[in-house]
């Protein structure tokens, strides 16, 4: 085991898969730099301590009535957690601070998910420094800083304007703005407002991105926010060993199935941990995959279909469409899948983690954003980095098949595949000694240590 540096960090992830993964990764990176790590977590979506034997875990009673909380209304759930967690979090943190003298390793600072906006106030009261982890891209955060302007100009949205370019932020289209798809944009705007205030008052923000990917936006953000920013992505590339923070069991049989497929032939299909489709959409995806005549690996998790029993109810009809060409699993070891030589393209909802994981393996993307920041991520993949295509013609089988073939086999997709490999090389370089993310990590460690 490497040497401990006698400083403990308390990490507090937002309890969703796309937030838990980068926070626990950050924990592993900082553990490797000598810090002791305590993960403070809600009972809701609690991580599994046995996957992280080097960390200490403490849970807080969030008081969330899971039968009443709608897991499809993420902004509503975040807002609720920001109310419910205040007292138990403060109590737990106070207790940990008062144990300081008795604890072997004293607390150096708190690192909280930036959407847990209440933690700043609590940390201030208890005189603990509270750095923030922002789990989305820097570009989206910059977009949030100009939210009042966008709100004034584009809301309420009229359908006819959806394809308009956002003049303040080309090449984004109006339909890419995060609140567009929200049932209740007011709530989303409040969350964004709280997020920006929290970040501006924090002593620093950590991102899972890298300078070469998001310059010049990172430079603009530094100016607008006036706080130190630490882009240390792709963070999973700092970790040599893999340990999973998945809330669902990973089905590793897909790796041996991939072993049998030709190089770069497989389209990997996953829409993350939250997005849900209608039965008709899922069937069209199945037919599109069959039409593409390429092997596929598809994650259909419980919850992928709006009707939770659908997958169990109608497997034969569902599988009929697939003609034995692919493999379906409920949850995959995604990073390992994307790094597998048989995988040639990724059909994704463009959650930020999936996007970064794909970039860092040089896998071109078929983009199908569903909500939140995904429209922004997808636009950057297709129009700025040009390492993927949007499913512009809609979710229709022939259109799907055409896009898959273009990405995987046709000459038309050659430049996209090449650009994806160039970007992969840049991503690899930045986590090597002297690379931009490596330096940002050094700066982060010094920042934490200098804060006492």
Residues found near ligand UDP in the complex (CB under 6 A): 17-18, 21, 246, 270, 272-274, 299, 331-332, 334-335, 351-354, 357
Residue with Cβ nearer ligand UDP (96 or 277): 277
CA distances from 251 to 210, 309, 329, 342, 449 (A): 30, 20, 6, 17, 40
Instruction: Please identify, using beta-carbon distances, which residue of 36 and 358 lies nearer to ligand UDP.
Output: 358
- In the complex with ligand UDP, the residue whose CB is nearer, 6 or 242, is 242
Per DSSP, 9 falls in state E
- Compute φ and ψ for 317, nearest 5 degrees: -60, -40
Residue 25 CA, distance from chain mean position: 12
Provide the minimum distance between the beta carbon of 9 and ligand UDP in the complex, in angstroms, as a whole number: 21
Question: Residues near 244 by Cβ (< 8 Å), separated by ≥ 6?
Answer: 51, 250, 333
Residue 345 C-beta: closest distance to ligand UDP, Å: 16
Measured from the CB atom, the residue of 10 and 23 that comes closer to ligand UDP is 23
Q: How far is the CB of 218 from ligand UDP (least distance, A)?
A: 19
Of 281, 269, 291, 261, nearest in space to 405 by CA: 291
Smallest separation, CB 337 to ligand UDP (Å): 8
* Alpha helices for 265-309 (secondary structure H): 279-292
Helices vs. strands in the chain: H and E counts, helices first: 19, 13
Q: How far is the CB of 113 from ligand UDP (least distance, A)?
A: 12
Confirm if 343 and 264 have CB atoms less than 8 A apart. yes
Rounded to a whole number of angstroms, the minimum distance from the CB of residue 429 to ligand UDP is 22
Q: How far is C-alpha 373 from the geometric centre of its chain's CA atoms?
A: 10
Min dist CB 352 to ligand UDP, Å, is 5
**From CA 36, how far away is CA 28, in angstroms rounded?**
10
Smallest distance from the beta carbon of 353 to ligand UDP, in angstroms? 3
Of 336, 361, 345, nearest to 296 (Cα)? 345
**Burial class, 221, CB count within 10 angstroms (exposed 0-12 / middle 13-18 / buried 19+):** buried
Residues contacting 433, CB < 8 A, separation 6+: none
Residue 385 contacts residue 363 (beta carbons within 8 Å): no
Closer Cβ to ligand UDP, 92 or 254, answer by number: 254
Which of 154, 210 has the CB closer to ligand UDP?
Answer: 210
- Backbone phi, then psi, for 48, in 5-degree steps? -95, 110
Report helix, strand or coil for 341: coil
Rounded (5°) CA angle 172-370-360: 75
Burial of 212 (0-12, 13-18, 19+ CB in 10 A): middle
The smaller minimum CB distance to ligand UDP, of residues 121 and 303, is found at 303
Nearest residue (CB) to ligand UDP, 164 versus 336: 336
For residue 39, the minimal CB distance to ligand UDP (Å) is: 17
Least Å distance, CB 336 to ligand UDP, is 9
Is the CB of 14 or the CB of 60 nearer to ligand UDP? 14
Q: CB-wise, 405 or 424, nearer to ligand UDP?
A: 424
**Least distance to ligand UDP, CB of residue 30, Å:** 18
CA–CA gap between residue 448 and residue 9 (Å, rounded) = 9
Give the span between the Cα atoms of 382 and 252, in whole angstroms.
30
Nearer to ligand UDP, 431 or 445 (CB): 431
The secondary element (H helix, E strand) that includes residue 258 is helix 253-259
């Amino acid at each position: 085991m490497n040497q401990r540096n006698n400083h403990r960090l308390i990490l507090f992830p937002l309890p969703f898969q796309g937030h838990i993964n980068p926070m626990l990764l950050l924990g592993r990176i900082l553990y490797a730099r000598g810090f002791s790590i305590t993960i403070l977590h809600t009972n809701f979506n609690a991580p599994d301590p046995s996957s992280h034997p080097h960390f200490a875990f403490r849970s807080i009673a969030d008081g969330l009535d899971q039968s009443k909380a709608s897991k499809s209304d993420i902004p509503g759930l975040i807002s609720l957690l920001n109310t419910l967690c205040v007292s138990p979090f403060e109590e737990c943190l106070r207790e940990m601070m008062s144990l300081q003298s008795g604890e072997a390793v004293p607390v150096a600072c708190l690192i909280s998910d930036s959407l847990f906006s209440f933690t700043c106030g609590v940390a201030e009261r208890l005189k603990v420094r509270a750095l923030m982890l922002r789990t989305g891209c820097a570009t989206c955060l910059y977009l949030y800083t100009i939210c009042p302007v966008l709100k004034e100009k584009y809301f309420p949205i009229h359908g006819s304007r959806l394809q308009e370019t956002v003049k303040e932020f080309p090449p984004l289209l109006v339909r890419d703005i995060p609140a567009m798809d929200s049932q209740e944009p007011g709530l989303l705007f409040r969350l964004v407002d709280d997020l920006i205030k929290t970040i501006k008052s924090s002593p620093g923000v950590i991102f899972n991105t890298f300078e070469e990917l998001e310059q010049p936006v990172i430079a603009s953000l530094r100016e607008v926010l006036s706080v130190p920013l630490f882009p240390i992505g792709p963070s999973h590339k700092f970790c040599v060993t893999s340990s999973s923070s998945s809330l669902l069991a990973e089905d590793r049989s897909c790796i041996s199935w991939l072993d049998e497929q030709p190089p770069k032939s497989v389209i990997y299909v996953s829409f993350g941990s939250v997005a849900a489709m209608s039965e008709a959409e899922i069937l069209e995806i199945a037919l599109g995959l069959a039409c593409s005549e390429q092997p596929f690996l598809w994650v259909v998790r419980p919850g992928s279909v709006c009707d939770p029993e659908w997958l169990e109810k109608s497997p034969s009809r569902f599988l009929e469409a697939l003609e034995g060409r692919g493999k379906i699993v409920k949850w995959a070891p995604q990073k390992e899948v994307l790094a597998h030589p048989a995988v040639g393209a990724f059909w994704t909802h463009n959650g930020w983690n999936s996007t970064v994981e794909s970039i860092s393996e040089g896998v071109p993307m078929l983009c199908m954003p569903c909500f939140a920041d995904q429209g922004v991520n997808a636009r950057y993949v297709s129009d700025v980095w040009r390492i993927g295509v949007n499913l512009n013609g809609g979710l229709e089988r022939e259109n799907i098949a055409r896009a898959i073939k273009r990405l995987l086999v046709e000459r038309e997709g050659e430049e996209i595949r090449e650009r994806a490999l160039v970007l992969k090389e840049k991503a690899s370089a930045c986590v090597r000694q002297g690379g931009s993310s490596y330096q940002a990590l050094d700066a982060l460690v010094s920042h934490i240590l200098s804060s006492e």
